[in-house]
Structure 1
Amino acid sequence: MAGLRERQKADRERRILRAAVTQFRADGYHSVRIEDLAEMAEVSVGTVYNYYRTKGDILIAVVAMEVEEVLASGAAVVTDPPDGVCEALLALIFGYYDHSLEYLSKEMWRSAMALSIEAPGTPNGRRYTELDRRLAVQVTDLIRSLIARGEVRDDVDANALGQIIFSALNQMFIEFVKDDAMTLEALRSGIAKQIGPLARLIETETTR
């Protein structure tokens, strides 16, 4: 019976998040009420509050769902990177970018970022920061893989470089979500222009 209850609980939560993705994208995060999500998810309002204290909690949960999926796909790139430093870094970064609008609209991303900036010490602010930290760690792990494979110089500080690259890709992503007219192709092109010269600086002689 415990297993059945857990499955039912997980199913209710999935329905709430699916409703949030659908309605936040269609009507805008700020316009949607908890009552609207409960109706679409076919649960009571009280059930929604059993899972999430605020609408912001639901939005950050959607962000977490998105990030967990890109981390899972990024793990394959870290384990077996494409040949070439630039190619490997862009494979990971493009994986993040290409999935970014799977669940969230640009308006939803802006709202989530605002929540994390306005109240960094709250559970939502800390959770958003932790998701960013995990993405930065994965970038660092990829650099370590490239060092181990002899493509990146072994005198490179992987931790520092990983943070630099993550900061660059994250800033480009912020510019992307701020501008509704900016396309995904423009985002990809913009980061490629930054990563290419950096890759040439850190690659070994044998990879040039």
Structure 2
Amino acid sequence: MTLREKQKARRYREIINAAAMLFGKHGYSNTTIEDIAEQAFVAPGTVYNYFGTKDGILQGIVEMHITERRAERRSFLKAPPADFDEAIVVFVSLLIDRAFVLVNREIWRQILASSISRGGSPEDFHDDVTGALVNQFERMFKTFQKRGCLRADVDLKHLSEAAMGIADFHFYRYVCQDNGSITDAKLRIVRQIQMLVEGLRQPPSPNISARPTPEA
């Protein structure tokens, strides 16, 4: 990467950080391009050149969130914990906790509203933001299938879509409602995914060396 490219990438990130902070503090509607430019120490024209509109900045926030969080999950998937239940807990924490590093609840609400106002749908937004997560769930489940924790006949694609549906439901309910806590949302996701896989676990192999205990 050339010096010019590095400067451009740094400026892009600075504008994103400034916008995320202002959107979270003052709200999307109450924040102007000029406010963002002032916070990022750039000219308003620079913000327009990079993003065009505030809606473009929201899209940039989403794209940066996806890029940065994807690397963390890929690292996890290379070597998940040995215990299946622990792996589910850790993966759900990566999904939920890390979703609010750059984007708070108010910004997530605006991202959803902006997607729909552009003529999209919740399904379109799902494809943009969380579509890859189904594949990542599938990778995790495949690892534990190979380890003998899941039955060999389990359709991992369908299982992954069901797990993602659980995660989506509680994530968006938390985002769109004022009550409830992030801890409660995570707990519900973990418990329900564990319930989902409970009947699909590989039964333990019988101990062929064990002998029946003689009756008294």
TM-score under structure 1 length normalisation: 0.89
Residue of structure 1 in register with 2:68 after alignment: 69
Instruction: Please report how far the alpha carbon of residue 99 of structure 1 lies from its aligned counterpart in structure 2 after TM superposition.
Output: 1.2
Instruction: Read off the aligned partner of 1:115 and give its amino acid letter.
Output: S
Alpha-carbon distance in structure 2 between the residues aligned to 1:143 and 1:75: 14
Instruction: Read off the aligned partner of 1:181 and give its amino acid letter.
Output: N
Instruction: Please report how far the alpha carbon of residue 119 of structure 1 lies from its aligned counterpart in structure 2 after TM superposition.
Output: 3.0
Alpha-carbon distance in structure 2 between the residues aligned to 1:199 and 1:87: 13
Residue of structure 1 in register with 2:214 after alignment: none
Q: Considering only aligned residues, what root-mean-square deviation do their CA atoms show, in Å?
A: 2.1
The 3-state SS of whatever aligns with 2:153 is: coil
Alpha-carbon distance in structure 2 between the residues aligned to 1:45 and 1:116: 24
Residue of structure 2 in register with 1:81 after alignment: 80
Residue of structure 2 in register with 1:132 after alignment: 130
Instruction: Please report how far the alpha carbon of residue 179 of structure 1 lies from its aligned counterpart in structure 2 after TM superposition.
Output: 2.1
Instruction: Please report how far the alpha carbon of residue 95 of structure 1 lies from its aligned counterpart in structure 2 after TM superposition.
Output: 1.1
Report if aligned partners of 2:92, 2:190 keep a CA contact under 8 Å in 1: no
Q: Which has the larger radius of gyration?
A: 2
Matches within 5 A, 1:108-123: 108-119=107-118, 121=120
Deviations 1:125-157 (A, max 9, x none): 967623311122111111111112221111111
Instruction: Read off the aligned partner of 2:109 and give its amino acid letter.
Output: R
Report if aligned partners of 2:20, 2:107 keep a CA contact under 8 Å in 1: no
Instruction: Read off the aligned partner of 2:3 and give its amino acid letter.
Output: L
- Alignment: residue pair count: 204
After superposing the two structures, state which structure 1 stretch, 6-15 or 81-90, moved more.
81-90
**CA separation of 1:128 and 1:14: change in aligned 2, threshold 3 A:** farther
Alpha-carbon distance in structure 1 between the residues aligned to 2:39 and 2:126: 26
Alpha-carbon distance in structure 2 between the residues aligned to 1:90 and 1:69: 20
Instruction: Please report how far the alpha carbon of residue 181 of structure 1 lies from its aligned counterpart in structure 2 after TM superposition.
Output: 3.0
Report if aligned partners of 1:116, 1:129 keep a CA contact under 8 Å in 2: no
Instruction: Please report how far the alpha carbon of residue 118 of structure 1 lies from its aligned counterpart in structure 2 after TM superposition.
Output: 3.4
Report if aligned partners of 1:17, 1:62 keep a CA contact under 8 Å in 2: yes
Instruction: Read off the aligned partner of 1:143 and give its amino acid letter.
Output: F
Alpha-carbon distance in structure 2 between the residues aligned to 1:40 and 1:126: 32
Residue of structure 2 in register with 1:19 after alignment: 18
Report if aligned partners of 1:81, 1:88 keep a CA contact under 8 Å in 2: yes
The 3-state SS of whatever aligns with 2:100 is: coil
Alpha-carbon distance in structure 1 between the residues aligned to 2:41 and 2:165: 40
**CA separation of 1:128 and 1:52: change in aligned 2, threshold 3 A:** farther
Alpha-carbon distance in structure 2 between the residues aligned to 1:117 and 1:87: 36
**CA separation of 1:14 and 1:128: change in aligned 2, threshold 3 A:** farther
Instruction: Please report how far the alpha carbon of residue 60 of structure 1 lies from its aligned counterpart in structure 2 after TM superposition.
Output: 2.3
Matches within 5 A, 1:1-208: 3-119=2-118, 121=120, 129-206=127-204
Which stretches in structure 2 are left out of the alignment for 5+ residues? Answer: 206-216
The structure where helix makes up a greater share of residues is 1
TM-score under structure 2 length normalisation: 0.86
Instruction: Read off the aligned partner of 2:81 and give its amino acid letter.
Output: P
Alpha-carbon distance in structure 2 between the residues aligned to 1:192 and 1:127: 23
The 3-state SS of whatever aligns with 1:205 is: coil
Report if aligned partners of 2:37, 2:47 keep a CA contact under 8 Å in 1: yes
Identity %: 31
Deviations 1:23-47 (A, max 9, x none): 1111112211111101111111111
